[in-house]
Structure 1
């Protein structure tokens, strides 16, 4: 089986866990490998491509496949289950697979693995990469599952924070003894390796996190971007760089076209520089409705939130509300371009000499779970071990 050749095996001595790779989910697996003794075998490719051969297009839709199967077409599920059984057997030839984990609750690519795990009496566990926080997004998730009548048939779901747990519980997707457990995402453990956070006066970046697609604020982003470029020009003689942190290559290409060639020498645009290293050197992070701003707070960067035009300061579709005192403690809502310029000027010319650590921690834990007593990776491995023992 070709998929078996694309498994990145782990040398840790603990129970062998088969992981179905997804973008960003790999970050969680790498932290789990580093911080626990479980052995995580990562399926890098193939498990989607090969299943296309027997899954009709009508079933290749997130969540919908359960309803489609209910109409009587169970052959794709049969083939996927056989495929998963064979892969689990081959991946566990040297060391038995004790559990399977995925990043998604309801993807059609995983249905055969859930069935195979039930047959083999091993747990299927999700470390959910999706974490709805904005009230409107939470409502959409609940409506989605209600409309399709979706039922989760795995053993457990590990989630990033309380908002995910409540949203899924309210969605009625639980099946039998499955668990929804707040563990936090292992990827956030990477921040624990920073022994000493760089003082603000020594940081060299002002960072704009793009919010161009899916944020319903494209025109306001252009306005923010224009102000950002003007600020870079204004402070071109200072040892400060202005970084536009894009999401991917396409985002970079589009913004490069918008900015043009005549720009300040200290203005950069990049998707390749890891967010981890960017935020650790950032004085102020500018963004809107992005979970990346939580990581900015973990890195002790101050947060600037545009709140003019299409961007809002409060309401049902706002993540960082001006009504929330935990947000107001470390973040500033900006109601016009001049507010952005004044804030950046302040942090460049008069950087804070001390910061309120507790205020940053309260902000972070408002949106994601990070325990002071154990790593998120340890919480996830505890859940996996419990599921293995109960299976």
Structure 2
């Protein structure tokens, strides 16, 4: 009863500006240094990987605010039926949601003005172009003359995804109303281009999170103590049944080959993925499997004897290490080419990735890895070539040497342009 009353007060009594200001007090300023350009990032679980690298390698402040908190506060105003990615920004201009626009704008302005009491905010960065919950900050940025930028965490190198995004943009009518977008690859630029008035505002920077991987030294074989399965239990992978087969085989071989010093690790993406995966697999009494979500891949892959997964950028990431990569390739995980990230018919891919064509072949590979056999990896040159098919690597054209440097140049460009155009900088 008290919680319902509190939520009713927040929805109907608390002014949007006040709500925004209260939320701004949760911004993490710990890493900020006065005098630098400051970017307020709407933090998400994957986005933080890039933010951490940008903090390490650039001369800019990357301060963070939980995007979940931003979303939850707006849910008190925005009905569930209207929280549609892509469509919401269009509906805000139409009768359906026009009444929400001034509320969200006041919320965004209140948040940004309160933030500027601590330090000037030179740009705001989100993780995708069309999250509904980012519209309030987009509106606030427009009013205050602050560039709204996107450092996109999605990558569209599975063939079906580019036409799917074109269709989504066409159906929703979405047009990007921020200033610029930074992406990992040419394919991702191609995917989003129809939603932009000027495709030159889409910069291919590569992925800052991979900068530290580029010169990673391999560990000795004696230090490799992990058998690593990257989950693909989410329905979005369209391979739930095969994942359950894979998990059952993984558990069976782990029990048979269990020994001290060898970790059978199921790497989940975040806490919710771990919970969902355990629910789907069911009880595993006495199993040696270790389900984790907070172990960085940067630490896990160098000590992995084998990395297993499907249709995940995490497998491309493994190409920057010497970890053998195995992809289950039967049933749901052997769809047509348009539906797979790593092509099981491509000669280059087959030189650096092992495709297990049956449950029996997969079990055999696990057993061999557990017993210390070094599985095929291909050459480092071929592995890097496969990585570059999916992720842009800066430095080859005389430009910035790292993705972090390219992203910094991207941000500085739009901050400078805003200042040159005389966009107002309104502090409180």
**TM-score for both structures, normalised by structure 2:** 0.82
Give the equivalent residue in structure 2 for 1:133: 157
Question: Which residue of structure 1 lines up, in the alignment, with residue 300 of structure 2?
Answer: 278
For the Cα contact (< 8 Å) 1:216–1:310, is it kept in 2?
yes
Q: Does 1:153 align with 2:173?
A: no
Q: Which residue of 2 aligns with 1:102?
A: 126
Moved more, 27-36 or 308-317: 308-317
Equivalent position of 2:403 in the other structure = 376
2:275 corresponds in structure 1 to 250
Match of 1:77 among 79, 96, 101: 101
Paired with 2:66 and 2:80, the residues of 1 have a C-alpha distance of 23
> Closer, same or farther in 2 for the Cα pair 1:255/1:283, shift >3 Å?
farther
In structure 2, the residue matched to 1:7 is: 27
Aligned partner (choices 34, 43, 59) of residue 56 of structure 2: 34
Asked if the contact 2:352–2:377 (Cα under 8 Å) also holds between the matched residues in 1, the reply is no
Query: Which structure has the highest helix share of the two?
Result: 2
Q: Alpha carbons of 1:36 and 1:52: their partners in 2 closer, same or farther (altered >3 Å)?
A: same
Matching residue of 2:191 = 167
Q: Which residue of 2 aligns with 1:390?
A: 417
Q: Partners of 1:132 and 1:79 in 2: how far apart? A: 34
Residue matched to 2:421: none
Shift of 1:121: 2.8
**Paired residues of 2:352 and 2:376 also in contact (CA < 8 A):** no
Q: Mapping of 1:199-278 within 5 angstroms?
A: 199-200=220-221, 202-214=223-235, 215-237=237-259, 240-247=262-269, 248-254=273-279, 257-258=282-283, 260-263=284-287, 265=288, 267-278=289-300
Tell me which of 215, 219, 232 is aligned to 1:198. Answer: 219
Shift of 1:357: 1.6
TM-score (norm 1): 0.89
- The answer on whether the counterparts of 2:40 and 2:64 sit within 8 Å (CA) in structure 1 is yes
CA distance in 2, matches of 1:243, 1:41: 32
Task: Note closer, same or farther for the CA distance 1:256–1:271 as it changes in structure 2 (3 Å cut).
Answer: farther
Structure 1 residue 351 displacement after superposition = 1.9
Deviation digits for residues 169-225 of structure 1 (CA, Å, limit 9, x no counterpart): 2xx10035761111122222343584x221345311121112212222222222222
Confirm or deny: 8 A CA contact 2:325 2:377 kept in the other structure: no
Unmatched 5+ stretches in structure 2: 1-20, 419-428
The answer (yes or no) to whether the contact 1:308–1:336 under 8 Å persists in 2 is yes
- Name the counterpart of 2:425: none
Give, in whole Å, the separation in 2 of the partners of 1:95 and 1:339: 58
Measured after TM superposition, the shift of residue 7 of structure 1 is 0.5
Larger deviation, residues 317-326 vs 347-356:
347-356
Structure 1 unaligned blocks of 5 or more: none
Hey, what's the Cα distance between the residues in 2 that align with 1:155 and 1:177? 11
Matches of 2:377 and 2:86, distance apart in 1: 48
Give the match's secondary structure for 1:371: coil
Q: CA offset at residue 162 of structure 1?
A: 1.9
SS of residue in 2 equivalent to 1:154: coil
1:53–1:223 Cα change, 3 Å? closer
- The correspondence for 1:180, drawn from 196, 199, 202, is 202
Distance 1:255 1:55, change over 3 A: closer
Q: Secondary structure at the residue paired with 2:75?
A: helix
Q: CA deviation at 1:239?
A: 5.0
Cα distance, 1:152–1:37 mapped onto 2, change above 3 Å: same
The question of 1:360 aligning with 2:391 is answered no
